[in-house]
Structure 1
Amino acid sequence: MFTDLMFAFENNLMIFYAVVALFSLLIGSFLNVVIYRLPKIMEQGWYKECREFLADELPKTKENKSDTKETAITLSKPNSTCPNCGHLIRFYENIPVISWLFLKGKCSQCKNKISVRYPIIELTTAFLGTIIAVNYGVTSTALFIILLTYALICLTMIDFDHMLLPDQITLPFLWLGLLVNINGAIVPLQDAVIGAVAGYMSLYCVFWLFKLITGKEGMGYGDFKLVALFGAWIGWQLLPLLILMASAVGAVIGISLMVFKNHQREQAIPFGPYLAIAGWITMIWGNNIWGWYLSTLV
């Protein structure tokens, strides 16, 4: 059955693109849940570990006892509600993009505004998934890169909101990149392994050099792991392009924030979103961009 489906898609690519776009649109709605809840799940876990570690040190107060009984958050529970009035969001109020437009961007009960970011993430997920489908066709490689794209959207938004790149997303996709390349689907396995090591060590060395010179930490360990992830997918050869593009975009946006938004120079800016965007572009068009860049140097 799966073979027949693949054959049907190969003979009608427009249907394939439409299915990928629709499926990605639905996944985009789920990504909104992951982006919002995963940091809260992690925070709950940290508090629980701290309480367990400091159990003998904390005073036995009513506040501490009540903290231990807080409702656990998962990606599926509790059900989605309006953060303002607590209205339980019905299934027909949670249809990607359509529900937001039908409700005019407001809660059906309290009329509190619903951020436009939710439909934007859903549409972005559909758009990027379709680009992958167009570039890689009806292949298993396309499927894997689409899954990676979903993960990168989550990482980008979580880092933007919390300056955090969760290992729960980064590490599994690092290992998946090595598995995808075990038969050289994107790059030879040797290049993928070297890419993962080189990706991590490149920023790790920059981190310690910067810390030794300034006494400050210029980036987080999550950034090292994210570059290692891309190294596992695209190999070591394109890592210079990735870091160059991410640094250039980060510098432009950072300077713009300081000039136009009164952003303090000492205030940290997440680097993960720039790495994720540059890495995704490098994966799709990296060889063409790198070839053009090298030709300009000749």
Structure 2
Amino acid sequence: MQDLQLAPLPLILVFACITGLLVGSFLNVLILRLPARMKYSWRQECEEFLGKEASTGDEPPGIILPGSHCPVCKNPIKPWHNIPVISYLLLRGKCHTCKTSISPRYPIIELLSGLLTLYAVIHFGVTAQALAAIVLVWALIALTFIDIDEQLLPDSITLPLVWLGLLINSQSLFASPVDAIYGTVFAYLVLWSIYHLFRLITGK
């Protein structure tokens, strides 16, 4: 961290923005694939619990592998066609192979990640606070769009985020340890209340 602090500020900001854009590209994959894998896992567990033979449906792709591909023509996306934001603009928002339109949400998420990462560094400087804020931003972007698509917040993101928040605030990075614990409890109760209120109103 100290070596990075010695680097020229413009270089640091460019590095932060590029890193945010690249992570945004990964977040697009995570937002798409994580819920699919969760649903597949839930279906397998339900069938196992009910004593049914496991379905033969195709297993969704992993989070990392295989690489990205066009959902229509299934052709793999070449690395030079997967440069955050730039490739979308150069390809005019279409698949290079089949010319199917690509959702503008992909570059929006990449740009959002890049700009918020940049803002965190501008606001906090090259500090541990900036790093923590950046991780939080990335997680919240993923959670927001997964929630929009699927109306769920994966435990695989939320629970590590809770423990990470408590851990970093054990050193009073953003709040005192006591305030961090109270904040965690309050946030849990709010979400718990919303969930049960929704069930009460809708009966679902």
Instruction: Give, in whole Å, the separation in 2 of the partners of 1:16 and 1:40.
Output: 36
Q: Which has the larger radius of gyration?
A: 1
> Which residue of 57, 74, 90 corresponds with 1:102?
90
Q: Tell me how far 1:147 sits from its aligned partner.
A: 0.7
Instruction: Number of aligned residue pairs: give it.
Output: 204
Residue type at the aligned position of 2:162:
L
Q: Which has the higher helix share?
A: 1
Instruction: Give, in whole Å, the separation in 2 of the partners of 1:178 and 1:217.
Output: 34
**Structure 1 residue 25 and structure 2 residue 15: aligned?**
no
Matches within 5 A, 1:1-298: 2-6=1-5, 8-9=6-7, 12-55=8-51, 58=52, 66-67=56-57, 70-205=58-193, 208=196, 210=197, 215-216=200-201
Task: Tell me the TM-score normalized by structure 1.
Answer: 0.64
Q: Tell me how far 1:201 sits from its aligned partner.
A: 2.1
- Runs of at least 4 residues off by over 3 Å: 202-208
Q: Is the 8 A contact 1:207 1:217 kept in 2?
A: no
Task: Tell me the TM-score normalized by structure 2.
Answer: 0.91
Residue type at the aligned position of 1:17:
L
Instruction: Give, in whole Å, the separation in 1 of the partners of 2:179 and 2:55.
Output: 52
- SS of equivalent residue, structure 1 residue 154: helix
CA RMSD of aligned residues (A): 2.1
Query: Structure 1 residues 202, 86: CA separation in 2 closer, same or farther (over 3 Å shift)?
Result: closer
Answer 1 or 2: higher relative contact order, Cα 8 Å, separation at least 6: 2
- SS of equivalent residue, structure 2 residue 106: helix
Q: Is the 8 A contact 2:143 2:153 kept in 1?
A: yes
- SS of equivalent residue, structure 2 residue 170: helix
Q: Is the 8 A contact 1:21 1:129 kept in 2?
A: yes
Instruction: Give, in whole Å, the separation in 1 of the partners of 2:191 and 2:134.
Output: 26
Instruction: Give, in whole Å, the separation in 1 of the partners of 2:146 and 2:71.
Output: 19
Residue type at the aligned position of 2:17:
A
The gaps in structure 2 that reach 5 residues or longer are none
Deviations 1:107-158 (A, max 9, x none): 1111100111111111111111111111111101100110110000000000
The equivalent residue for 1:295 is: none
Instruction: Give, in whole Å, the separation in 2 of the partners of 1:147 and 1:164.
Output: 20
Q: Is the 8 A contact 2:13 2:122 kept in 1?
A: yes
Give aligned-pair identity as a percent: 43
Q: Is the 8 A contact 1:29 1:122 kept in 2?
A: yes
Residue type at the aligned position of 1:66:
T
Deviations 1:1-43 (A, max 9, x none): x53233x13xx22221111111101111000000110100101
Instruction: Give, in whole Å, the separation in 2 of the partners of 1:203 and 1:53.
Output: 28
Instruction: Give, in whole Å, the separation in 1 of the partners of 2:202 and 2:158.
Output: 21
Q: Tell me how far 1:88 sits from its aligned partner.
A: 1.4
